Structure 1
Amino acid sequence: MSTTTPPFIKKGALFGLVSPAGRIDSDVISRAGVFLERNGFRSRRGKYVTHEHYQFSGTDEERIDDLQAMIDDPEVEVIWCCRGGYGTLRIIDALDFSRMPVQPKWLVGFSDISVIHATLQNNYNTVSVHGPMPVNLPADNNYGAEWNHLLDILQGHDIVYRTPANILNKQGTSAGQLIGGNLSLLAAMTGTRYDFDPRGKILFIEEVGEQLYHLDRMMYQLRLSGKLEHLKGLIVGHLTDMKDGKIPFGNSAREIIRNITEHYDYPVLFDFPSGHESPNEPLLMGAQVHLQVTDEGGLVVYYI
């Protein structure tokens, strides 16, 4: 099955702003509009983008309506999810993405939005962007490099990532289709129709705020289900605010992942700058990537 890559955008492209998960302050939406306007793009707010229903940005039905409207709107070229949190898994099976392979458009987000990336890659083989969201925009408008890189990647500019040496890295060279996202969401989708086939894939994972033994359990879930065995490579992003118990687990988050993957013969790259910290570099999920890990560090190059 061939991969569908949405058309790269040009100045004046319309971004649709939606909140499929957690509630968000209206100031964040305003900052997103300012950021896009300063860079020559337009924005359109979802009808319920700042609604509140307990911890969610509107009821399930409202969030479904907003996201579906952006999927179906022929003028919208980029669907930019405003934040993560929790809630996307509750609505994913009510959404119709069948237009995406026929009239593809970009979808951008990370964390809880990993659910949508999984849907696009595993069900529709469509490329999307794991990248920063409006909630991450700095209030002082002092934008870091990842924001320029996000717009660059959407406009089709070449992106090459180089990372420094890491003692935990496993050296090697590989190529495959990049998939993944937040590890907790990947674990939650195991056994569902949004689950991934690891064959020929390079898996990216990141995590935030988890107990170390939870991380260990999720990694063993991937191992016991055969996911890790059949990968072509593994890229580990930010592991943010990981927590230990009163009785120490005995390994750091990175060591847990390294120990569980040490018997496989593919390259493993640690500390890729993407996830719940800054910089949160954008990744083209679903695209073919070349991964090289040497004693000097890592290299990630896309093939579009």
Structure 2
Amino acid sequence: MIFPKSLEKGSTIGIVAPAGKIEAETIHFAEKFFHKRAYKVVLGENVCNSFHQFAGNDEHRAADLQHMLNSPEIDAIFCARGGYGTIRIIDQIDFTHFLEYPKWLVGYSDITVLHAALQNKAGVASIHGPMPKNFPDKADDEEDMEALFDLLHGQFPDYSIKPNENNRNGEAEGILIGGNLALIYALRATPLDTNPHGKILFIEDIGEYLYSVDRMMQNLKLSGFLKELSGIIVGDFTDMKDNDDPYGQTAFEIVKEAVAEYDYPVMMGFPAGHDHLNLPLVFGKRVSMKVASDCCQLTF
């Protein structure tokens, strides 16, 4: 696995929007945010474009992303937001020149597609973390933002969180993979489907019906995906929906049941995903996890 070089003061950050459209004011806020931290900023030509719900049509979004990946002048790429649309353009992306100038890519949610492509096609690590869409709601010194920029400057994090009643205690090591559960499910049986053997899986999601969460987890179980893992970390399951006839389980309980027959550790409630605190994670990096009754630790 290739780990991109660390940023320095004066490094250049590119902002692209491979999925949903985003307001120009939010992009300009992000520009000022980066400038305040002494970075240069380059915007994708179509980053503020609009085509129905997308930030430009497929051709425009793919061209912007390809340019940022190829450019030796760009030191890191921030995806402006998630939403939907990255899966529509991923087969148009060529990582040949990117591998000459590998750089950190940051994003989450729909950007799970890019994380999967970077690991499975390019063999390059990437960062699941806050995006410019989130910046207006955050202070400069919030824990996740500080951790993100520390990581970009070469300082990998060690996390300690409170235990959850749905946890399963234990210790494990493995390469960290994952992202948004719905996108992991959507990529099954495609060239971007990740080999789970010995890996530690992180999952999160937003706005799904609880029965849909169970359906996705049952897919991972029936296919043997869950059986091959060495551990699982469950982030935020935000704004879950239910039918008039309640499903009867929370998202955490659904995951707990799906992995009940395996003996690896399970860490629930890790603060990453669509809630306010979104601690950055490095996909493609080997991690160790320890789940105990008094504390849970994740070390990169």
Question: Which category describes the TM-score, using the shorter chain as reference length?
Answer: over 0.9
Q: Displacement of 1:230 after TM fit?
A: 0.4
Is 1:85 aligned to 2:83, yes or no?
yes
TM-superposition CA deviations, 1:44-79 (whole Å, max 9, x none): 100000000000000100001100010111010101
For 1:253, the equivalent position in structure 2 comes to 251
For 2:129, the equivalent position in structure 1 comes to 131
Q: Displacement of 1:31 after TM fit?
A: 1.0
For 1:95, the equivalent position in structure 2 comes to 93
SS in 2 for 1:138: helix
Q: Displacement of 1:141 after TM fit?
A: 4.8
TM-superposition CA deviations, 1:64-117 (whole Å, max 9, x none): 110001011101010100000000000000011123333210100000000000
Q: 1:94 to 1:158 in 2, by over 3 A?
A: closer
Tell me which amino acid in the other structure corresponds to 1:232.
S
For 1:262, the equivalent position in structure 2 comes to 260
For 1:163, the equivalent position in structure 2 comes to 161
Tell me which amino acid in the other structure corresponds to 1:272.
F
Question: 2:222 and 2:56 mapped to 1: Cα distance?
Answer: 37
Tell me which amino acid in the other structure corresponds to 1:154.
L
Query: Which blocks of at least 5 consecutive residues in structure 2 are unaligned?
Result: none
For 1:26, the equivalent position in structure 2 comes to 24
SS in 2 for 1:29: helix
After TM superposition, the structure 1 = structure 2 runs for residues 45-56 of structure 1, keeping only pairs within 5 Å, are 45-56=43-54
SS in 1 for 2:204: strand
Question: 1:88 and 1:263 mapped to 2: Cα distance?
Answer: 34
Tell me which amino acid in the other structure corresponds to 2:27.
I
**Conserved 8 A contact 2:164-2:268:** yes
For 1:146, the equivalent position in structure 2 comes to 144
For 1:208, the equivalent position in structure 2 comes to 206
**Conserved 8 A contact 2:17-2:80:** yes
Tell me which amino acid in the other structure corresponds to 1:124.
A
For 1:288, the equivalent position in structure 2 comes to 286
Question: 2:190 and 2:200 mapped to 1: Cα distance?
Answer: 20
TM-superposition CA deviations, 1:175-195 (whole Å, max 9, x none): 000000000000000000000
**Conserved 8 A contact 2:112-2:178:** yes
Question: 1:250 and 1:98 mapped to 2: Cα distance?
Answer: 48
Report percent identity of matched pairs.
44
Question: 1:152 and 1:19 mapped to 2: Cα distance?
Answer: 24
The structure 2 residue matched to 1:274, chosen from 265, 268, 272, is 272
Tell me which amino acid in the other structure corresponds to 1:137.
F
**Conserved 8 A contact 2:106-2:131:** yes
Tell me which amino acid in the other structure corresponds to 1:26.
A
For 2:185, the equivalent position in structure 1 comes to 187
The alignment of Structure 1 onto Structure 2 pairs a total of residues equal to: 300
Question: 1:210 and 1:216 mapped to 2: Cα distance?
Answer: 10
TM-superposition CA deviations, 1:115-142 (whole Å, max 9, x none): 0000011222210000000000125756
Tell me which amino acid in the other structure corresponds to 1:21.
A
**Conserved 8 A contact 1:137-1:143:** no
What TM-score comes out, normalization by structure 2 length? 0.98
**Conserved 8 A contact 2:70-2:101:** no
For 1:297, the equivalent position in structure 2 comes to 295
Q: 1:297 to 1:215 in 2, by over 3 A?
A: same
Question: 1:97 and 1:233 mapped to 2: Cα distance?
Answer: 30
SS in 1 for 2:26: helix
Calculate the aligned-residue CA RMSD, in Å. 1.1
After TM superposition, the structure 1 = structure 2 runs for residues 226-237 of structure 1, keeping only pairs within 5 Å, are 226-237=224-235
**Conserved 8 A contact 1:31-1:139:** no
SS in 1 for 2:289: strand
The structure 1 segments of at least 4 consecutive aligned residues displaced by more than 4 Å after TM superposition are: 139-143
Question: 1:66 and 1:123 mapped to 2: Cα distance?
Answer: 19
Question: 1:60 and 1:265 mapped to 2: Cα distance?
Answer: 43
The structure 2 residue matched to 1:111, chosen from 99, 109, 112, is 109
Deviates more, 1:153-162 or 1:82-91: 153-162
Tell me which amino acid in the other structure corresponds to 1:105.
K
SS in 2 for 1:76: coil
The structure 2 residue matched to 1:73, chosen from 66, 71, 74, is 71
Question: 2:195 and 2:97 mapped to 1: Cα distance?
Answer: 23
